[in-house]
Structures are given as C-alpha cells and as structure tokens.
Structure 1
Amino acid sequence: MVGRKAIIFHGTGGNPDVVWYRWLAGRLEARGYAVEVPYLPGLNVEPIATFLPTVLAGHHVDENTVLVGHSGGAAFLLAFLEHVEVTVAQAILVAGYCTQPNTSDEPVLQESYDWAAIRSHVRDIVFINSREDPYGCDDRQGRAMFERLGGTQIVRDDGHFGDYDQPYERFELLDRLIP
C-alpha cells in the first residue's frame, strides 16, 4: 500500500514517550509507515468542542491512515472519526470508552455521538479493553462501542495496557493487528 500513515494518540496526562507508543511507532516505520505521535497536553483537559477542531486541522488523514488511541486518546478517536471527511483504513481503540468510566471529569467525551458517521469513516475498527481496568475503561465500555459500531472487540485481563504504575514498553498484539 502506497503512502501508509499512522497516528498514535496518547492517553490523558500522557505524552508520546511513555508506555508502548514509541515502540509501536518504530515497528510501523520499519514496515514503511509514516508515523506521527503528537503531544497533546490539552487532551481531556480542554473541552472536546474546542480541542477537536485544532487537532483535526493539524493532521491530514486519508484512506491509507491507521489511527491508534489509548485511554483518553481512544475516547478522542470517537469524535475524530465522527468529524473527519474521509474513510480511514483502521482505528484501534485501546482502553477506550464512550461514557463516563469513573468519577473524573471527562471533557474528551461528547454528549452524544453520530455512530453511523463514525462507522462510515473507518473500514476496520478494533476495541481492546481489559476486564480489570483500574479506571473503568473496561470490557463493558468496549462492548458498548462494539454494539454501536461493529468491528472487533478484544477482551484481555491486562490492566490499562500501560500506566504510571504499569510498565508496558511493548504491545505485540497491536503490532500484529496493523497490516
């Protein structure tokens, strides 16, 4: 595939240099992908209505783009996919959620989603959640998105797939899921 591209969105309070983000970027670059791992300090801090247009304007996506989001970055992908104007190749939401997962403020969430628009803007969508996610970004959240969007749901018992207290330097499953 010519011009393959991937964008990896970190989670709330994260940055491109934690957990498996750089490792996955390196694996994809070795296979010919152009990879972006943007630093988005406003993610899940700034309201989605003002944050989303800035991020959309800063990234070009097309039919050869793969989007990966972790935690707040995965929740962000729902709004991103709803509002892009093309159909991307693949989106993988790791520890994602579409409703309030815990008692924390979640400005990354929209009040409602146009699920048909999201579905029409991605050819292959995958949800990876853990039954034992400490923040509530669990398999029930994955199931709620899967029931609205289809795709593939993968359920593991693996915490938050990386966090300040859960080193997760490699994520072999992600590497295998992205062609």
Structure 2
Amino acid sequence: MNRKAIIFHGTGAHPDVVWLPWLRQQLTKRGYTVEAPHYPTLNVEPITTFLPKVLANHTFDENTVLVGHSGGAALLLAVLQHIDTTVRQAILVAGYSTKPNTSEEPVLQDEYNWAAITAHVRDIYFINSRNDPYGCDDHQGRAMLDRVGGTQIIRDGGHFGDQNQPYPTFDLVDRLID
C-alpha cells in the first residue's frame, strides 16, 4: 500500500512552521510519502480561483491522508467537496467553516455540499481549542461535526501553534493517523 499524506499550512504560514515539519518527519519514518506544499495565496486568493490550482497540484486516493491547520483546515472542506474519490482520513486542526472573526476569509466557500464532503472521506477528525485566539474554536469544530460526523477532540491549546505560540510537536495528530 502506497500511503500518502498531504499537509496544508495555515493562513500566512508555510510548511516549515510549528509542528508541520515534525509531522512530516514522523510520517516519513512510518513509510508515508508526504507532500507539504507552500501556498502563499491561501486565504488571500478567493477559493473559486485558488481551489482549482490546489486540485491540479495533487492526486487523491483511498490511501491519502489530509491534514490542515487553520486556513489549511478550512481549505480541506473545499478539497473534500470537489474531489472524485474517498480519501482515508482528514484531520482539521483549528478548522472552521464560517468566519471565525472579523477578518476576511477568502478560503471559505459561500456554501458547502456537506453530503459530498462526507462521501469523500472515510475518517474525519476535528481538533479545536476552547481558547483559540482567532475564533477557530470548539464551536466551529462542532458545527462541522454536526454536518459530517466524525470525531471532535477539544483541547485548551490556543491555536495549536502560531507566531506567538511555539508548538514544535503534536503527538495527538501523529497518533490519529493510521
């Protein structure tokens, strides 16, 4: 089995921040082929023009695991809605499906086909924090969970990594990936 993971960074970030490089290393040691693209226009460019570029840059199949942090987690919803296969797992860390604060959120779609999202992922996890400073909190996770099922894990972990929050490792995410 050729297992693959694609890890999407958050808004204004890149693949070498917080726990993302550590997770790449962990998964590589476990035999995964890992993609960690840098998308500087994530949550800057409208999802209607940004998503086709993302879909063209990656392939998805039943052995694919998707991990997204913050804006990258929001991106996963659009990816899951628009792919034509079912991926193995999706883990949305500090994810959201509606505006979590007053900032513009071009990564969000106007509406989601929740049935298509559900149909395109075998196992989905929402990891949210009660004290997320950007509003990507447990209420956001619950709203997605209520629409697609899966598992929500709630912590008091801030944003799970940010410029002001070092988060070099994230054992929970590593353990969730089978």
Q: Report the CA distance between 1:167 and its aligned residue.
A: 0.1
Unaligned runs of 5+ in 1: none
Q: Report the CA distance between 1:77 and its aligned residue.
A: 0.3
Q: Quote the residue 2:146 is aligned against.
A: 147
* Residues 32-87 of structure 1: per-residue CA shift (max 9 Å, x gap): 00000000001000000000000000001110000000000000000000000100
Q: Report the CA distance between 1:178 and its aligned residue.
A: 0.4
Q: Quote the residue 1:42 is aligned against.
A: 41
Name the TM-score, length of structure 2 as normaliser.
1.00
- Specify the code of the residue in structure 1 equivalent to 2:66: L
Q: Secondary structure at 1:28's aligned position in 2?
A: helix
Give the fraction of aligned pairs with identical amino acids, expressed as a percent: 71
- Specify the code of the residue in structure 2 equivalent to 1:54: K
Q: Report the CA distance between 1:141 and its aligned residue.
A: 0.1
Q: Which runs of 4+ in 1 moved over 6 A?
A: none
In 2: Cα distance, 1:149 partner to 1:123 partner: 11
Instruction: Within 5 Å, give how 1:100-111 maps onto structure 2.
Output: 100-111=99-110
Instruction: Within 5 Å, give how 1:15-164 maps onto structure 2.
Output: 15-164=14-163
Name the TM-score, length of structure 1 as normaliser.
0.99
Unaligned runs of 5+ in 2: none
- Specify the code of the residue in structure 1 equivalent to 2:95: G
Q: Secondary structure at 1:123's aligned position in 2?
A: strand
RMSD of aligned residue pairs (Cα, Å): 0.3
* Residues 106-133 of structure 1: per-residue CA shift (max 9 Å, x gap): 0000000000000000000000000000
In 2: Cα distance, 1:50 partner to 1:36 partner: 21
In 1: Cα distance, 2:175 partner to 2:89 partner: 13
